[in-house]
Amino acid sequence: MDQLQNLKKSNSKNDKAILFLIFNRPDTTKQVFERIKQAKPPRLYVAADGPRSNKASDSALCEEARRIALSVDWPCEVLTLFRNDNLGCKQAVSSAIDWFFSHEESGIILEDDCLPHIDFFKFCNELLDIYSNDHRISVITGNNFQNGQKRGNYSYYFSKYNHCWGWATWRRSWKSYDGNLSFWPQWSNSQEWKQLNPNRYEQRYWSGIFDDVRANKIDSWAYPWTCSVWHHGGLTATPNVNLVTNIGFGSEATHTTGNDTRWAAINTESLGPLVHPLEILLDRNADLYVFDFKFGGQDLKFPRYLILLPYRIIRKIYRIMKASLF
pLDDT in tens, 196-227: 998 888 999 999 999 999 999 999 999 999 99
pLDDT: which is higher, 261 or 50: 50
Residue 315 has pLDDT above 60, yes or no: no
Closest CA to 239 of 168, 133, 296: 168
Q: Give pLDDT, residue 326.
A: 33
Alpha carbons 102 and 11: distance in angstroms, whole number: 26
Q: What is the mean pLDDT of the chain?
A: 89
Residue 80 has pLDDT above 50, yes or no: yes
Residue 87 has pLDDT above 90, yes or no: yes
Alpha carbons 46 and 79: distance in angstroms, whole number: 6
Residues above pLDDT 70, as percent of the chain: 84
Residue 325 has pLDDT above 50, yes or no: no
User: Mean pLDDT across the stretch 230-235?
Assistant: 98
Residue 118 has pLDDT above 80, yes or no: yes
pLDDT digits (tens, 9 = 90+) for 67-78: 999 999 999 999
Residue 308's pLDDT band, with cuts at 50, 70 and 90, is very low
Residue 313's pLDDT band, with cuts at 50, 70 and 90, is low
- How many other C-beta atoms are found inside a 10 Å radius of the C-beta of residue 250? 14
Alpha carbons 185 and 44: distance in angstroms, whole number: 38
User: Mean pLDDT across the stretch 249-260?
Assistant: 50
Query: Dihedral angle at the C-alpha atoms of 39, 64, 82, 20, nearest 10 degrees?
Result: 20
Structural domains of the chain ordered from first start: 2-295 (3.90.550.10)
Handedness of CA 34, 38, 40, 43 (dihedral sign): negative
- Its pTM stands at 0.87
Residue 312 has pLDDT above 90, yes or no: no
Residue 123's pLDDT band, with cuts at 50, 70 and 90, is very high
